């Protein structure tokens, strides 16, 4: 090859090599931390760049850019923008002999977010996730968080940690961080997504009442006690705080020949009692509780129940805080495993009542039951864990609530309640030709969840 042609080829190869290096960095050289833009005072105009960190030392020069154009003479780490440049884009570039690196693009006068917030799982036992806010300037900025599941905002999830609900498992979640500082324009940044693993829940049954006593028997007195009356002598007051129409007596809850506990409500004999509405009672029924005999803290509580028929009926399987005598409702807490209301025969309710929500309808949800709750038995359950409560019907999850504010009063012992109320705030108007109704419990069971949960015997 002629010498002139050889020199031309070598020059071309060197040119290609330089092109490759200037775009990013030479082979074997990497940027471990890109350069960052910080404010050097509170004016929102004075900047100080933090140089990049490289895997190999090199000599570098600097250049500031505003609105994508190099600023003449702005080739030092410090840079002072003008007031006219406020709200314009700013970026810092570092050029070295082995490669280049650039900062994020910020806005002059706005909080700069150099690295996005990042999320990670910190407790595999419950999928607890946490967020680190990333690097931002000025350092005085306050950061607020909001967690999302896909495009959906997770209500109340605004802290730096979040314990996903069972219904979050298998989904992608992320967090939006909002950065605010006095004298600066707010900025927001989204973290990357993280998939919440599905945690296998292992249940070990440790207590049950199968209601296998002799037919005609009352519930086991070692476990259950009747709570009688119309509520007038209780803290809740007449109507049990719900304007209910029944008077509870102990004899209307009996074991059937099929091995179930049936609670009856009837108008027969009701007029023998006087009710809080200053007239003979309209209905009598039964209510039984485990208070003072058996308590529960965390775990799965479930019951197989056939619901009542008729508008005005209000059957329930629920729990109250065992400290109700010291901390009245709703401070003691209430967990409704299920409420079966005759006016809505295809709907089951799952709700909590706490310090904030107690007098405002509670927090929870409902589930549609296409075949209704009264024609056959269905299994209703809650998985009660330190950070969440989940509701199930026939093994299918339909609702979840998380520990997120002062409304969460579900970290102590609770006792069981089963009853059939008539009328009241939720039961509504009673059918004029309805004279009797019943609710049946085939069994009630309690299991630990991955070793969590306890039965407290008094």
Residue numbers annotated as active site: 334, 339
Q: Which residue in 298, 296, 300 sits closest to 383, CA to CA?
A: 300
- Alpha carbon 135 to its chain centroid, in Å, reads 28
Distance CA 133, CA 135 (A): 7
As a whole number of angstroms, the distance between CA 89 and CA 28 comes to: 32
Q: How far apart are CA 255 and CA 262, in angstroms?
A: 6
Give me the residues paired with residue 153 across strands. Answer: 148
Q: Which residue has the tokens 């107690």?
A: 358
Sign of CA pseudo-dihedral 368, 369, 371, 374: negative
Tokens of 407: 């409304």
Neighbour-count burial of 236, counting CB atoms closer than 10 A to its CB (0-12 exposed, 13-18 middle, 19+ buried): middle
Nearest-10 Cα torsion for 132, 137, 143, 149? -50
Which residue has 């309805």 as its token pair?
Answer: 434
Contact 251, 285 (CB under 8 A): no
DSSP conformation letters of 30-91: -EEE--EEEESSTTSSEEEEEPPEESS---EEEEEEETTEEPTT--SSEEE--GGGTTSEEE
């Amino acid at each position: 090859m002629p010498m002139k042609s050889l020199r031309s080829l070598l020059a071309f190869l060197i040119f290609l090599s330089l092109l490759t290096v200037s775009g990013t960095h030479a082979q074997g050289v990497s940027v471990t931390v890109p350069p960052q833009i910080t404010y050097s005072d509170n004016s929102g105009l004075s900047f100080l760049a933090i140089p990049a960190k490289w895997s190999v030392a090199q000599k570098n020069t600097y250049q500031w850019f505003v609105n994508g154009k190099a600023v003449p003479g702005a080739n030092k780490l410090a840079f002072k923008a003008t007031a006219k440049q406020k709200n314009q884009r700013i970026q810092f570039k570092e050029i070295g002999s082995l490669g280049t690196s650039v900062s994020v693009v910020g806005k002059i006068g706005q909080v700069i977010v150099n690295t996005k917030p990042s999320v990670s799982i910190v407790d595999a036992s419950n999928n607890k996730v946490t967020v680190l806010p990333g690097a931002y300037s000025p350092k005085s900025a306050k950061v607020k968080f909001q967690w999302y599941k896909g495009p959906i905002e997770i209500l109340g999830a605004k802290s730096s940690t979040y314990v996903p609900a069972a219904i979050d498992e298998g989904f992608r979640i992320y967090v939006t961080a909002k950065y605010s500082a006095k004298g600066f324009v707010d900025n927001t940044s989204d973290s990357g997504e993280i998939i919440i693993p599905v945690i296998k829940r292992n249940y070990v049954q440790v207590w049950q009442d199968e209601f296998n006593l002799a037919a005609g028997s009352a519930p086991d007195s070692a476990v259950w006690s009747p709570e009688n009356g119309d509520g007038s002598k209780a803290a809740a007051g007449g109507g049990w705080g719900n304007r209910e129409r029944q008077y509870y007596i102990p004899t209307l809850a009996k074991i059937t020949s099929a091995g179930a506990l049936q609670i009856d409500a009837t108008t027969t004999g009701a007029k023998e009692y006087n009710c809080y509405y200053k007239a003979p009672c309209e209905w009598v029924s039964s209510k039984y509780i485990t208070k003072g005999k058996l308590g529960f803290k965390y775990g799965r509580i479930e019951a197989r129940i056939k619901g009542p028929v008729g508008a005005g009926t209000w059957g329930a399987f629920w729990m109250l805080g065992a400290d109700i005598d010291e901390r009245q409702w709703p401070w003691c807490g209430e967990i409704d495993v299920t409420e079966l209301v005759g006016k809505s025969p295809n709907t089951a309710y799952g709700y909590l009542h706490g310090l904030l929500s107690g007098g405002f309808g509670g927090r929870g949800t409902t589930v549609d039951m296409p075949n209704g709750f009264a024609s056959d038995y269905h299994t209703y359950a809650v998985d009660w864990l330190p950070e969440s409560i989940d509701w199930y019907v026939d093994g299918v999850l339909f609702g979840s609530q998380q520990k997120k504010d002062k409304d969460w009063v579900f970290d102590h012992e609770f006792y069981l309640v089963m009853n059939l109320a008539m009328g009241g705030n939720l039961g509504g108007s009673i059918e004029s030709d309805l004279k009797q109704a019943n609710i049946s419990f085939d069994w009630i069971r309690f299991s630990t969840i991955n070793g969590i949960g306890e039965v407290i015997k008094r």
